[in-house]
């Protein structure tokens, strides 16, 4: 069996918190990510959703090599991507790239579009001027800009155009995995759909795999094949987007989904049974370790629990004692 494109196993990230006594006595650890495991298949869009501080960005940074994991393994095509035997920045760059949330902070104001796209190509051994020009031109067309835009500087573009440049930069080295960190949340609502459609087109055209970090569930619902729901460093529920959005099992997931504004709610009479309660797998409230209504202590490891498959490819985290 060929290994999956990206395989994350039991990823832990802990940050030391300074404080306590002298000489680092009583130093506490902040448990940011507590044993995340998932895999990403080729051509798939996997979304990680959860509130701020739940560890979703830390997970992404670990995959990008910007944050060293405390424990666990990250494998790309079976080869380690973190820890001992990990590739350097240069090799990693061709595997994983990132599209940033804020298009205003993610482009160097002193670099023209051409130079911010040409520099990585040159760094990775593309030296022929004509090839660089050709690839920049093709990439700008891919993201819906014109070759004439190449000579301009970031301040000459709108937010949506800047995000297109950010996407072009992420794709210029032809990576297989693209991490999308809230790719549209900083954009004007009227631009969001364009960028989402662009991302979906590019995914199909270039065979990309997306790992999307988001708390905007309407975007997640539109783009993802599978969804991971994270809560304080753990996956509390995972499944296909349909399972998560139509039959959410974990109380935290249900609350997230209930919080999506429904534009039809005011127009249509209340349904007898809303979609979030229909066909809900019957699980007693006490079987969950936490229902997400009370913030757990981030300085201690979470109580033992495990992911249990309640339907095909649909898993929910339950207290360890009850699930045995």
> What is the pattern of x (binds other proteins, CB under 8 A) and - over residues 111-130?
x----x--xx--xx------
Q: Is 139 in the site for other proteins (CB under 8 A)?
A: no
Give the residue with the Cβ less far from other proteins, 34 or 57. Answer: 57
Q: Which of 31, 92, 149, 315: binder of other proteins (CB under 8 A)?
A: 92
Q: Which of 71, 102, 137, 291: binder of other proteins (CB under 8 A)?
A: 102
Q: Is 100 in the site for other proteins (CB under 8 A)?
A: yes
Q: Are 289 and 308 in contact (CB under 8 A)?
A: no
Q: Is 5 in the site for other proteins (CB under 8 A)?
A: no
Among 98-106, 193-201, 275-283, 307-315, the segment contacting other proteins (CB under 8 A): 98-106
Among 83-91, 197-205, 252-260, 299-307, the segment contacting other proteins (CB under 8 A): 83-91
Among 36-44, 86-94, 258-266, 277-285, the segment contacting other proteins (CB under 8 A): 86-94
How far CA 215 is from CA of 50, 156, 157, 180, 212, in Å, comes to 6, 29, 26, 12, 10
Q: Is 62 in the site for other proteins (CB under 8 A)?
A: no
Among 7-15, 64-72, 213-221, 243-251, the segment contacting other proteins (CB under 8 A): 64-72
3-class secondary structure per residue, the chain:
CCCCCEEEEEEEEEEEECCCCHHHCCCEEEEEEEEEEEEECCCCEEEEECCCCCCHHHHHHHHHCCCCCCEEEEEECCEECCCCCCCCHHHHHCCEEEECCCCCCCCCCCCCHHHHHHHHHHHCCCCCHHHHHHHHHHHHHHCCCCHHHHHCCHHHCCHHHHHHHHHHHHHCCCCCEEEEECCCCCCCHHHHHHHHHHHHHHHHHHCCEEEEEECCHHHHHHHCCEEEEEECCEEEEEEEHHHHHHCCCCHHHHHHHHCCCCCCCCCCCCCCCCCCCCCCCCCCHHHCCCCCCCCCCCCCCCCCEEEEEEECCEEEEEEHHHHC
Among 18-26, 92-100, 139-147, 274-282, the segment contacting other proteins (CB under 8 A): 92-100
**Sign of the dihedral defined by the CA atoms of residues 124, 128, 131, 135, in that order:** positive
- How many residues belong to the site for other proteins (CB under 8 A)? 31
Q: Is 109 in the site for other proteins (CB under 8 A)?
A: yes
Question: Nearest approach, Cβ of 97 to other proteins (angstroms)?
Answer: 6
Among 26-34, 46-54, 62-70, 190-198, the segment contacting other proteins (CB under 8 A): 62-70
Give the residue with the Cβ less far from other proteins, 158 or 313. Answer: 158
Give the residue with the Cβ less far from other proteins, 82 or 107. Answer: 107
Give the residue with the Cβ less far from other proteins, 49 or 173. Answer: 173
Q: Is 98 in the site for other proteins (CB under 8 A)?
A: yes
Give residues in contact with other proteins (CB under 8 A).
Answer: 64-66, 88-90, 92-94, 96-98, 100-102, 105-111, 116, 119-120, 123-124, 166, 169-170, 173
């Amino acid at each position: 069996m060929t290994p999956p494109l990206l395989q994350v196993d039991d990823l832990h990230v802990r940050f030391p918190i300074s404080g306590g006594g002298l000489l680092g006595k009583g130093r506490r650890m902040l448990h940011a990510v507590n044993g995340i495991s998932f895999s990403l298949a080729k051509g798939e869009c996997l979304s990680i959703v959860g509130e701020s501080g739940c560890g979703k960005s830390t997970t992404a940074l670990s995959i990008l090599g910007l944050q060293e994991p405390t424990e666990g393994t990250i494998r790309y095509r079976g080869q380690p991507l973190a820890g001992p035997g990990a590739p350097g920045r240069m090799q990693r760059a061709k595997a994983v790239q990132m599209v940033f949330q804020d298009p205003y902070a993610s482009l160097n104001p002193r670099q023209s579009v051409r130079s911010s796209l040409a520099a990585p190509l040159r760094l990775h051994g593309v030296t022929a001027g004509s090839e660089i020009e050709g690839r920049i031109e093709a990439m700008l067309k891919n993201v819906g800009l014109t070759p004439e835009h190449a000579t301009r500087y970031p301040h000459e573009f709108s937010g949506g155009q800047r995000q297109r440049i950010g996407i072009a930069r992420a794709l210029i080295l032809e990576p297989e995995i693209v991490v999308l960190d809230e790719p549209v949340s900083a954009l004007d609502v009227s631009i969001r759909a364009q960028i989402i459609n662009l991302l979906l087109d590019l995914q199909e055209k270039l065979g990309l795999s997306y790992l999307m970090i988001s708390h905007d569930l309407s975007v997640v619902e539109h783009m993802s094949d599978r969804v991971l729901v994270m809560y304080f460093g753990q996956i509390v529920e995972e499944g296909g987007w349909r399972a998560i959005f139509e039959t959410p099992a974990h109380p935290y997931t249900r609350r997230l989904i209930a919080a999506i504004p429904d534009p039809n709610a005011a127009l249509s009479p209340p349904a007898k049974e809303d979609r979030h309660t229909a066909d809900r797998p019957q699980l007693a409230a006490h079987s969950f370790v936490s229902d997400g209504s009370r913030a757990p202590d981030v300085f201690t490891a979470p109580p033992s629990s495990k992911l249990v498959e309640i339907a095909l490819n649909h898993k929910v985290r339950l207290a360890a004692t009850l699930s045995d």
